[in-house]
Structure formats: structure tokens, C-alpha cells
Amino acid sequence: MIESIEMKVTGMKCGGCETHVKTQLSAIAGVHKVEASFKDTQVRVAFDDSQTTLEAIKSAIAEAGFHVVAA
């Protein structure tokens, strides 16, 4: 099933950071769509929950150097 989630993510400071988040998350199998906004400190992800998990997505954001505040 496709899950659509919205997370509050801090640490993004420019369009390059948005791109970084999108690139990292798009590399995960099962991630269909990523939107990131540093202005809104928000990341939206649509993913197939039979292929990946919210935890995997959160840790990919953390590995990219950003912080998931709430999901």
C-alpha cells in the first residue's frame, strides 16, 4: 500500500539541501515521490510500505545530516 507522510525536518537551509534530501530518499527502493521545502521545514514522502518503512526513511534523512523533528 502507498503511504503518504509528512514530516517536520530541520537543518535544510537552501534549495541544495532540498535536493540532497530528495536524492537520498529517492534512492530508497519503494519511495515513489519526495517533496522537500526548507522554508516550511517539511518533507513529504509517498512510499510503498511493502518495500520500505518510515524508519528507513527517517534514518536516511538523518544520514543526510538533517533532523526529523516529528512525523
- When binding is defined by CB under 5 A, the residue of 3, 11, 17, 37 that contacts Cu ion is 17
Residue with the three cell numbers 532540498: 18
Stretch binding Cu ion (CB under 5 A), from 13-21, 26-34, 49-57, 60-68: 13-21
Shortest Cβ 23–Cu ion spacing (Å): 13
Q: Is 39 in the site for Cu ion (CB under 5 A)?
A: no
d(C-alpha 67, C-alpha 10), whole Å: 5
Q: What CA–CA distance (Å, rounded) separates 5 from 42?
A: 10
Residues that bind Cu ion (CB under 5 A): 13-14, 16-17
